[in-house]
Amino acid sequence: MSTTKVKVAENAAKFIQQDDIHEKLHDQNLWNVRMRRDTVASAIPEWEELRTLASRIKEHTLTHLDEYVLQFADNAEKRGIKVHWASTAEDHNRIVYEILASHQVKRLVKSKSMLQEECHMAPYLEKRGITLTETDLGERIQQLSGQDPSHIVMPAIHQTKEDIAKLFAEKIGTDPNKVDANYLTEAMRNNARPKFLEAEATMTGANFAIAETGSFVVCTNEGNADLGAAIAPLHIASIGIEKMVPKVEDMGVFIRLLSRSAVGTAATQYTSHFSGPRKGTEMHIILTDHGRSHRLGLEDFWSSLKCIRCGACMNTCPVYRRSGGLSYGATYSGPIGIILDPSYDEDKYSELPFHSSLCGSCTEVCPVRIDIAEQIVKWRKVMSAKKKLPVGLRLAFGVTGTVFKYPWVFRTAEAAGKWALKFAPDALIYNKTLNAWGRQRKLPEFADQTFRDWYLKNRNKEPKA
Amino acid sequence: MLAAIRKNMPKDKVAYPRLPSFEVAGKDLKRTFEESLSKAGGKLFDIANKEEALQLFAELYPDAKVVCSATAEWTGNKSLEEVSAPGELENVDVAVIRARFGVAETGMVWLTEHELIVNSLAFLAQHLVILLDPDEISENMHTAYRRVDLQRADYGVFVMGPSATADVGAVLVRGAQGPRSLSLFFTKSL
Ligand code: SF4
């Protein structure tokens, strides 16, 4: 993997400047999703309580993770599932390949798995002669584009219908003049069908793993995971160890939150529970660590393992919406990416924590109550302490040294949206219209005083460090 | 790997919370279910008897050539008993399946391999007809998860309407990789 530093602000500027269409549409589409999330969330009186419960269940599980991982593995094995253990991405990929090779698999269909993305599994398998087809439409678009997914739930959200019409015309022979979502979706449905029928193996990820029964749960809207699993004689699931939940009844809490937070629907069209192989077929699970146990030991950052990959923090983030996901140069982008990616490579992702206005909206929407904005600030501290800031950013963020020293100042900075405009470096304020950060965002009630005013007035009253 | 987890686990343990079921007394479960499933793109019909069901079926699917049923209450023209590989169901136009129960909050129905006989039926078929007893509706996801018996089913799925995607230009399209439509027939038995 390359360790060249990702220049996220520069990349974002390119995304914005490419034309007058992409950034605008991206921003608008994701904002619409965010608004739908608000509508469905507010229709549930116990929404805030559900978030607290989800957070507790995950914290409980993570602080007893050894027990639950063991319990899950035991129960899955009792049901006839073969369980493998992978500490690293390399282990994961090697195990997958060994299973496929021992079954002479040449054609593989897979549904979306962020863990498999993390492990860069697709190129690994392709190099070894496996024909791999992404079956989630968004992932398939990205596969045909030769790009990584730009969003964890909507992988091709940075592409317009026109882009996709052009791509499909080139790759699967559709009419380049037909720029219609129904037509394009239908074309890919027909293109994918034979691949499902021919595949000798299928792969999925898992949204949840239930320790009590050894079951794993996969959520999709397209039914592509189920289609693959219902036909292929071999099913391999990649599961990160942080996916554990203790009991079946926990799923009630998480399913109520997941898709409402993600795209504003009551649930995904399919919520599928795999607890054992279909008769006459094989099922394998690869329990994968890949940096998770390391993160579990980071006092400031372990709670990021609660993440259920809903993408709500991305949809709400004014910086992400305007940057496009590919700008982050990582498997995870947006606010969740900012707090996950540096734990893999502090050099490569050293700029990421500064690609935020610290408006705190991500923390507000996170269904498992991860303190995302505070973790972003803590990562800034890590980067500053290690002098990993580019000079420009170091100067610009000099003023925020205060914020580093006194987290309570950050918490008081309710007017963060305004604050960002005044204090963020030019690289971050690349909007063509300056007020765009807060254009549509549900801003917290602004005090009359901006943070800057407050800061100037109060700087002499600060407690001595 | 377990050693790595143990070494890094936070020392402060968090207790497992008590989970309420958030039921609301007096809720009209059938109506809630209807509203939820409609939002998810499903169509619902109250069915009084077999005749009515047959007539509706003919109206809904005038062009259906291959009909496959997973329930003894309905006779199609492709028998699941003759299916030796799941891919053989690829030409099914309409599948008829009886669901064990529905969930009012979301409009989902619960299906396992016991209802499906061949799991691929629910995904390869172009259209789904789901039979549901209106008295078998669970209020919300908390109550629903008390009814799923994962010990008894290797595969179980909550299906919420037809398959869908919004991956092209954020436009919602029903009929992604799985069924293009889902019609729910409310009936105790046919
Ligand atoms: S951090 Fe929270 S909001 Fe963001 S993807 Fe994870 S669970 Fe969703």
The answer, for B181 touching chain A at a CB cutoff of 8 Å, is no
Residue A270: closest CA among B163, B14, B62? B163
The answer, for B171 touching chain A at a CB cutoff of 8 Å, is yes
% of chain A exceeding 70 in pLDDT: 83
Query: For the stretch A357-369, what's the b/e string if a residue is b when 16 or more beta carbons lie within 10 angstroms of its beta carbon?
Result: bbbbbbbebbbbb
The rounded Cα A306 to chain-centroid distance in angstroms is: 12
Find the A154 Cα to ligand 1 centroid distance in Å: 14
Q: How far apart are CA A245 and CA A32, in angstroms?
A: 31
Domain count for chain B: 1
Contact A350, A313 (CB under 8 A): no
Residue A238 has a CB neighbour count (10 Å cut-off) of 31
Check if A258 has its Cβ closer than 6 Å to any atom of ligand 1. no
pLDDT value of position A413: 37
Does residue A410 have a pLDDT over 70? no
User: pLDDT tens digits, residue range B132-181?
Assistant: 999 999 999 999 999 999 999 999 999 999 999 999 999 999 999 999 99
Contact A192 B153 (CB under 8 A): no
Helix boundaries (H) for B9-126: 29-39, 50-60, 113-116, 121-124
Residues of A in Cβ contact (< 8 Å) with B162: 269
User: pLDDT tens digits, residue range A187-211?
Assistant: 999 999 999 999 999 999 999 999 9
Phi/psi of residue A215, nearest 5 degrees: -95, 150
Contact B6 A66 (CB under 8 A): yes
pLDDT value of position A3: 73
**Ligand 1 atom at minimum distance from A334 CA:** 4
Q: Domain of B132: which CATH number? A: 3.40.50.10420
Q: Which residue of A has its CA nearest to B162?
A: A269
pLDDT value of position A386: 82
Does residue A455 have a pLDDT over 50? no
> Per the domain annotation, does B6 fall within a domain?
no
Contact A271 B108 (CB under 8 A): yes
> Per the domain annotation, does B61 fall within a domain?
yes
Q: How far apart are CA A270 and CA A221, in angstroms?
A: 6
> Per the domain annotation, does B20 fall within a domain?
no
Does residue A442 have a pLDDT over 90? no
Check if A308 has its Cβ closer than 6 Å to any atom of ligand 1. yes
pLDDT value of position A393: 57
- Give the SS3 label for residue A196: helix
The answer, for A265 touching chain B at a CB cutoff of 8 Å, is yes
> Per the domain annotation, does B2 fall within a domain?
no
Q: How far apart are CA A237 and CA A258, in angstroms?
A: 20
> Per the domain annotation, does B173 fall within a domain?
yes
User: pLDDT tens digits, residue range B64-99?
Assistant: 999 999 999 999 999 999 999 999 999 999 999 999
Does residue A401 have a pLDDT over 80? no
- Give the SS3 label for residue A75: helix
Higher pLDDT, A67 or A445: A67
Q: How far apart are CA A51 and CA A58, in angstroms?
A: 11
Could you tell me the pTM of the whole model?
A: 0.90
User: pLDDT tens digits, residue range A282-337?
Assistant: 999 999 999 999 999 999 999 999 999 999 999 999 999 999 999 999 999 999 99
The answer, for B84 touching chain A at a CB cutoff of 8 Å, is no
- Give the largest Cα separation in chain A, rounded: 74
> Per the domain annotation, does B21 fall within a domain?
no
Q: In Å, how far is B130's CA from the nearest CA of chain A? A: 15
Which helix (H) or strand (E) segment holds residue B137: the answer is strand B137-138
pLDDT value of position A389: 64
The answer, for A24 touching chain B at a CB cutoff of 8 Å, is no
Check if A296 has its Cβ closer than 6 Å to any atom of ligand 1. no
Q: What contacts A45, CB < 8 A, 6 or more positions away?
A: none
Contact A275, A285 (CB under 8 A): no
> Per the domain annotation, does B56 fall within a domain?
yes
User: pLDDT tens digits, residue range A362-396?
Assistant: 999 999 999 999 999 999 999 988 876 665 555 55
> Per the domain annotation, does B176 fall within a domain?
yes
Does residue A144 have a pLDDT over 50? yes
Closest residue by Cα to atom 3, ligand 1, is A366
Does residue A404 have a pLDDT over 90? no
DSSP designation for A445: P
Q: Which member of A33, A59, A137 has the closest CB to residue B165?
A: A137
pLDDT value of position A51: 98
Helix boundaries (H) for chain B: 2-8, 29-39, 50-60, 113-116, 121-124, 141-147
Strand partners, B138: B103
Query: Mean pLDDT in chain A?
Result: 87
Per the structure, the complete domain to which residue B119 belongs is given by: 29-78+87-186
The answer, for B164 touching chain A at a CB cutoff of 8 Å, is yes
Cα A173 to Cα A144, A154, A177, B33, B168, distances in angstroms: 13, 24, 12, 42, 17
- Give the SS3 label for residue A127: helix
Place of tokens 């987890």: B5
The rounded Cα A7 to chain-centroid distance in angstroms is: 19
% of chain B exceeding 70 in pLDDT: 100
Does residue A115 have a pLDDT over 70? yes
Cα A160 to Cα A146, A306, A310, B126, B170, distances in angstroms: 16, 32, 22, 28, 9
Contact B145, A252 (CB under 8 A): yes
Instruction: Give the amino acid at A101.
Output: A
Q: Which member of A85, A213, A221 has the closest CB to residue B176?
A: A221
pLDDT value of position A439: 34
Residue A134: closest CA among A61, A188, A214? A188
> Any idea where the domains of chain A sit in the sequence?
44-290, 398-458
% of chain A exceeding 90 in pLDDT: 82
Cα A389 to Cα A27, A272, A334, distances in angstroms: 28, 44, 19
Contact A271 B2 (CB under 8 A): no
Contacts A–B by Cβ distance under 8 A: 249
pLDDT bracket for residue A54 (50, 70, 90): very high
Strand partners, A273: A217, B156
Check if A373 has its Cβ closer than 6 Å to any atom of ligand 1. no
Q: How far apart are CA B114 and CA B100, in angstroms?
A: 10
- Classify A44-290 by CATH class: alpha beta
Contact A185 B156 (CB under 8 A): no
